Amino acid sequence: MSTIVVVLPDERLNQLRELAARLGIAPEDLARASIEDLLARPDEAFQQAVEKVLS
């Protein structure tokens, strides 16, 4: 497994920490799950979202 570093503004980091605490998980795990969810979305859903934004 590889490691990446993500720089967040303090306000966003605090939001991430607060949400993770409410969910009872580590902020790193919440960020990882969010990225995995984004990457797992089908391309069709992404294309539909793009079309909606552009229209």
The answer as to whether 3 is a domain residue is no
Structure tokens at 17: 């920490």
Domain limits for position 19: 10-54
In a domain, 16, yes or no: yes
pLDDT at 27 over 90: yes
Query: In the predicted model, is pLDDT for residue 49 greater than 90?
Result: no
Q: Is residue 22 part of a domain?
A: yes
Domain-located, residue 4: no
In a domain, 27, yes or no: yes
Q: Is the pLDDT of residue 22 over 90?
A: yes
Domain assignment present for 5: no
C-alpha–C-alpha distance, residues 51 and 5, integer Å: 31
> How far apart are the C-alpha atoms of 8 and 10, rounded to whole Å?
6
Q: Total domain count for the chain?
A: 1
Tell whether 35 is covered by a domain.
yes
pTM for this structure?
0.70
What DSSP state is assigned to residue 1? -
